[in-house]
Chain A
Amino acid sequence: MSPLDLLVAVPLCCMAAALLLGRAARGLILLAAPLMAGLALWLALLPPDAAYLVGQWELPLGILLRADGVARLMILATALVIGAVGLHALVEPPEKPGHAAQAETFWPLVYLLWAGANAGFLTTDLFNLYVTLEMVSLAAVALAAMGSLAAALRYFMIALLGSLAYLLGVALIVARYDTVDVTLLAQLAEPDLATLMALGLMTAGLLIKAALFPMHGWLPPAHAAAPAPASALLSAIAVKLGFVILVRLWFEAFPAITGPAALQVLGGLGAAAVLYGSVQAMRQDRLKALVAYSTVAQVGYLFLAFPLVAGAIDPGDAWAGMTLQAVAHMLAKAAMFLAAGLMLKAAAGERIADLGGLAQAMPLTVTAFGLAAVSLMGLPPSGGFTAKFLLLTAAIEQGAYLYAGVLILGGLLAAVYLFGALAACFAPATTPRTPVTGGLRTAAPLALAGLAIVMGFGGTALVELSAIAAPWAGPALILPEPAP
């Protein structure tokens, strides 16, 4: 037994137990949250070459679980986010009025998402990644269906098409190389038609899953309509798996054949997502729709980083910026959705204009929203600041002033829409508000937002953690030529 397989097996066992226990399953999180946090911490402290072959099958056929820096950070953040969201949902069950059974279906889905995400972050097997992608999609669609069935169906259809595009790409890789392991493909890959087609298909499918502009259409309705804890998990975790698999493909399996032009396309789409998502977020008058469009913008930063990582002479800083942006967004966005859920329960309606009086009625929840906003805007000191600062430095070093400009403009736009929502909380209320506060309810978003801020003080330790077993550090791997 090692933490690598336990991190997948424990949530799967919890899922089975939650299905059997029914209504009593909610208490399981009290056990699972500390256990998984402990395992994730153990994983983070393992020696750099930690790996595990599932079932002891040797490589061309076997499935390799391996803990590189990206996996360690993402799994730790996933454990913190699901732990906090789970404890929050324990006292604030995610259900619509009159749908008490919904709270029961929530728990197995949480554990399915947890197992799928952890397996996806750890594995290097492209077909196993397809299975984890489907596990996460299944849980994510069902979580979205707790809010709006129509939005969930739309999400389901588009996610299914994305999965199939990815699968077709994997089929081409099987035909060409007779292996689907990322570490082996890194040595075998050649820039021929089959490989390029496979990479194109897989990338297109994964971009749908990661909701990169212009494939983001399904995200705002699905994430905005779901109950707050479900939205938090969707925005924090579900979209990140697509991103991590793309990192595996572009920087680990096929760094030799991804040309600068293709990287610039991804970076350009990322930059467009930052601007489009921010402008759309400013135009929303409902709070949860604003937070959902903010996810579209924040996902853009992840892909804006792709050409910066590939173009850097020493990619360490840009790589850390990209990874920390994913982690900071996970913590801050989960905190923001939980806080927004509580604020909307106390507010007069679901529009931003209805938030008046909440700053006095529930100051701690509004503080959590504000702290999460600080990280999303990239104000120091916060995880978001560290990530965006690293990316900005890399962009300026490479003379990529367009990306640098988008990074700064994106922060300004985020400040505009998030301060708008915060200012509404300080407006005088027409009628007195009954606060929805107390105990874990308020503590969970506050703790997550606090972690997003504390990340800003993690500095070099986090940068070093992200660099563990990174593809550009290995001697066998070659990164593409710096972009002109």
Chain B
Amino acid sequence: MDLPLSDILSAGHLYALTGAVLVGLGLYAFITQRHPLRQLLAVNVVGAGIFLILGSLGRGPDATDPFPQALVITGIVVAVALTAFGAAMIVRQAETRAAAKPAADDNARGAS
């Protein structure tokens, strides 16, 4: 691609490229981080990247295609629900561990 930078940006590729970078960052964090909360955040970054790619697809020169946008909204709803569910499970796990080890202080709970 020997397009000048301004051409790439004006063609609406900026959003898709940013989305691709977010997917890559999120994937990297998902693989390297072990704590479930950090993994959950990493997955959300991947999700945000995908929604950005999907959302940018509907962007036309003068009119916006509503179809990908509708998909993004549904996708965000699903992602929010799953994030809440995952966070609830992580909290429950932390509580169970804290109850099992009453002597453990907050630091140990955070690092588990």
Instruction: Identify the A interface with B (CB < 8 A).
Output: 61, 127, 130-131, 134, 138, 141-142, 145, 149-150, 152-153, 156-157, 160-161, 164, 167-168, 170-171, 174-175, 178, 180
The smallest beta-carbon distance between A228 and chain B, in angstroms, is 22
Instruction: Identify the B interface with A (CB < 8 A).
Output: 23, 30, 36, 39-40, 43, 46-47, 50, 53-54, 57, 65, 67-68, 71, 74-75, 78, 81-82, 85-86, 89-90, 92-93, 96
List chain A residues, Cβ under 8 A from B23: 168
Q: How many A-B residue pairs have CB under 8 A?
A: 70
B74 to A145, Cβ gap below 8 A? Answer: no
Q: Which residue of A lies closest to B74 (CB)?
A: A131
The smallest beta-carbon distance between B15 and chain A, in angstroms, is 12
List chain A residues, Cβ under 8 A from B78: 130-131, 134
List chain A residues, Cβ under 8 A from B86: 153, 156-157, 160
With A153-B89, A171-B57 known as contacts, the answer to whether A164 contacts B46 (CB < 8 A) is yes
List chain B residues, Cβ under 8 A from A150: 93
Report how far A82 CA is from B53 CA in the complex, Å: 39
The smallest beta-carbon distance between A226 and chain B, in angstroms, is 14
The contact sample of 28 A-B pairs, CB cut-off 8 A, is A61-B67, A127-B71, A127-B74, A131-B78, A134-B78, A138-B81, A138-B85, A141-B85, A145-B89, A149-B93, A149-B96, A152-B89, A153-B36, A153-B89, A153-B90, A153-B93, A156-B85, A157-B30, A157-B86, A160-B82, A161-B43, A164-B43, A164-B47, A167-B50, A168-B53, A171-B53, A171-B57, A175-B57
With A138-B82, A157-B43, A174-B57 known as contacts, the answer to whether A164 contacts B50 (CB < 8 A) is yes
A178 to B43, Cβ gap below 8 A? Answer: no
Name the prevailing secondary structure of the B interface residues: helix
List chain B residues, Cβ under 8 A from A134: 78, 82
A167 to B93, Cβ gap below 8 A? Answer: no
Q: A142-B85, A153-B90, A164-B46 are in contact. List 12 more A-B contacts (CB 8 A).
A: A127-B71, A127-B74, A134-B82, A141-B89, A149-B96, A153-B93, A157-B30, A157-B39, A167-B75, A171-B71, A174-B71, A178-B67
List chain B residues, Cβ under 8 A from A178: 65, 67
Report how far A300 CA is from B69 CA in the complex, Å: 37
Q: Which residue of B lies closest to A142 (CB)?
A: B85
Please give me the 10 A-B residue pairs with the lowest Cβ-Cβ distance, nearest first.
Answer: A171-B54, A175-B57, A149-B93, A160-B43, A168-B50, A134-B78, A157-B39, A164-B46, A153-B36, A174-B68
Report how far A61 CA is from B75 CA in the complex, Å: 16
Report how far A157 CA is from B33 CA in the complex, Å: 12
Report how far A79 CA is from B94 CA in the complex, Å: 37
List chain A residues, Cβ under 8 A from B67: 61, 174, 178
Report how far A442 CA is from B75 CA in the complex, Å: 43
The smallest beta-carbon distance between B96 and chain A, in angstroms, is 7
